[in-house]
């Protein structure tokens, strides 16, 4: 684990970036930080970093901003937001008010990239701006065309999330299984099946993954499955 004075993931990541750490090291760092944050939540100080100037700022002073024209998403402070508004009309909300459901709506209602919103959700979780143990559902959705399987989390109704994903995909999606879970549990499944990852939250339908889905579908596997992932 990290020293007690480590309260911000981003500062550690910036250091690793400056020494040329590879992607695999950064991914391991993310996993370790989420475990650390779960074990010692009182040590985490939620903060944000402006995408434009790089300044560290309180969550209450940060703005989540996006352009429906370019589909770009930003975390900005007030001054940088004003500067951006001269070049592109951005929709903006105070970051401290943003929930998992709000981020899902960016895909469904604003038409933003599902992949970009997934990356943003991960970043905000690592920053402490979103709770790791937010109650919800972990779901397994499969593309009937490519057979790839998405392992995702939603804090709202699964049917709504499936409908949202379907609008962004040209091929029919099928809900394979779902169970009660948290963001942390979703991430543990991503780690377990990482060698089958295609992109983002999408995975190859490997027999090991499909066997796990079958156990979940039968309603037998939440406790056993979670124990094996830890």
- For residues 160 and 204, membership in a common domain is answered with yes
Number of domains present in the structure of the chain: 3
Question: 19 in a domain, yes or no?
Answer: yes
User: In this structure, what token pair is assigned to residue 2?
Assistant: 């990290």
Last residue of a domain, one of 81, 102, 127: 127
- For residues 19 and 84, membership in a common domain is answered with no
Residue 146: domain span: 136-218
Last residue of a domain, one of 92, 107, 127: 127
Q: What is the pTM of this model?
A: 0.80
Question: 76 in a domain, yes or no?
Answer: yes
Give the residues of the chain that fall short of pLDDT 50. Answer: 223-230
CA-nearest of 143, 122, 115 to 186 is 122
Last residue of a domain, one of 127, 154, 169: 127
Determine contact, residues 148/171, Cβ cutoff 8 Å: no
Question: 230 in a domain, yes or no?
Answer: no
- For residues 30 and 72, membership in a common domain is answered with no
Determine contact, residues 91/105, Cβ cutoff 8 Å: no
Rg, Å, the chain Cα set: 18
Do the bridges between strand 136-143 and strand 149-154 make them parallel or antiparallel, or are there none, so unpaired? antiparallel
- For residues 19 and 78, membership in a common domain is answered with no
106-145: per-residue pLDDT in tens?
Answer: 887 888 888 899 899 999 999 999 988 888 999 999 999 9
Question: 62 in a domain, yes or no?
Answer: yes
List C-alpha distances in Å: 4 to 38, 62, 82, 88, 194.
14, 26, 37, 42, 29
- For residues 32 and 94, membership in a common domain is answered with no
**The pLDDT of residue 1:** 63
**The pLDDT of residue 164:** 80
């Amino acid at each position: 684990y990290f020293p007690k004075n480590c309260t911000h993931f981003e500062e550690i990541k910036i250091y690793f970036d400056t020494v040329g750490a590879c992607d695999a090291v950064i991914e391991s760092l993310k996993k370790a930080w989420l475990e650390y944050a779960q074990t010692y939540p009182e040590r985490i100080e939620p903060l944000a970093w402006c995408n434009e100037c790089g300044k560290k700022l309180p969550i209450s002073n940060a703005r989540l901003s996006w352009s429906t024209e370019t589909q770009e998403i930003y975390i900005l402070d007030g001054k940088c937001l004003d500067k951006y508004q001269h070049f592109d009309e951005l929709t903006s909300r105070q970051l401290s008010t943003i929930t998992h459901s709000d981020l899902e709506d960016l895909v469904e209602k604003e038409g933003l990239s599902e992949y970009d919103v997934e990356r943003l959700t991960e970043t905000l979780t690592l920053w402490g701006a979103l709770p790791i143990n937010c109650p919800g559902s972990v779901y397994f959705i499969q593309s009937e065309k490519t057979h790839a399987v998405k392992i995702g989390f939603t804090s709202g109704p699964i049917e709504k999330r499936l409908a949202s994903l379907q609008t962004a995909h040209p091929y029919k999606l099928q809900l394979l299984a779902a169970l009660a879970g948290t963001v942390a549990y979703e991430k543990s499944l991503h780690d377990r099946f990482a060698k089958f990852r295609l992109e983002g939250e999408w995975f190859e339908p490997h027999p090991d993954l499909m066997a796990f889905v079958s156990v979940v579908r039968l309603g037998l596997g939440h406790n056993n499955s979670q124990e094996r992932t830890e």
